[in-house]
Chains A and B, each alone.
Chain A
């Protein structure tokens, strides 16, 4: 999966939780999920679980804690879906 595809899927997963729709319209890799998009921090768990379902991955607490921006989410997903060598 490439970065653009992952980003697109992540954005569509996060969309229902976003409160700041203006910032969402211009979201980039550096957009912070809680601070910029206004996502309730309690809902981050739902978002992470939706990532697990969508991408067939398992996310541990430490990885989840590191997801602050959309770019962090993309990196985490690319890392976890990368084929093992």
Chain B
């Protein structure tokens, strides 16, 4: 039943992305790389991505695995942390948010709320699920990976689930200049994956900051590579 729902959701989302004429030319290569990086290992997977538009998680899910593979490996249909405001606007997006495995996040909420969300993520990871997070904490206001103003929540997640594998994903539309709601129609996406193994000698908040800094630093490095070599990937 759950696999059927995943397939239904996936193909609906894929259909919408195709309707908008979005393209990921290197999709096959990316999917092969994802399968190689994650392999047959079961267990928690934390996917950390840069964030520029409201549909980044859809694009990334589309890039990582085809529908049939999600049927076989439903854990690869990732949970997402989505702004509660954005996924409760109306009944339609509520249903989509539910089917799309969104964990609502109350932005600018009290610290207890943030901690509660992180507990949910830790729980999902402890059940061997994959979770997609945006370590910057919001769509980057500077149009690049924001290495100055990012949150440290991802560091807490890594500390609480040390067995989680961390995969950094850099995704960006070739025409994306700054952050926005949606990429331009007919956008072509560049997607790169890299395994990351952040470690820290610190504990608590200092550890959170150290780990989050390493992950955001990795994303920033991937972005630099993109700006240096993107033309070769088309």
Contact = CB atoms under 8 A, between A and B. Distances in A.
Interface size class for chain B?
10 to 19
Interface string B118-161: 00000000000000000001000000000001111000000000
B205 interface: yes
A49 B205 contact: yes
Secondary structure at the A interface, as helix, strand, loop or mixed, is helix
B28 interface: no
Interface string A34-50: 00000011111110110
A65 interface: yes
A40 B149 contact: yes
Per CB-CB distance, the 3 closest pairs between chain A and chain B, nearest first, are: A42-B151, A65-B111, A45-B205
Interface in A47-85: 48-49, 52, 59-61, 64-65
Interface of B: 108, 110-112, 114-115, 137, 149-152, 204-206, 208-209
A45 B208 contact: yes
A64 B111 contact: yes
19 contacts: A41-B108, A42-B149, A42-B151, A42-B152, A44-B111, A45-B152, A45-B205, A45-B208, A45-B209, A48-B205, A49-B206, A49-B209, A59-B205, A61-B115, A61-B205, A64-B111, A65-B111, A65-B112, A65-B115
Nearest to A35: B108
Nearest to A68: B110
Interface in A17-49: 40-46, 48-49
A43 B209 CA distance: 10
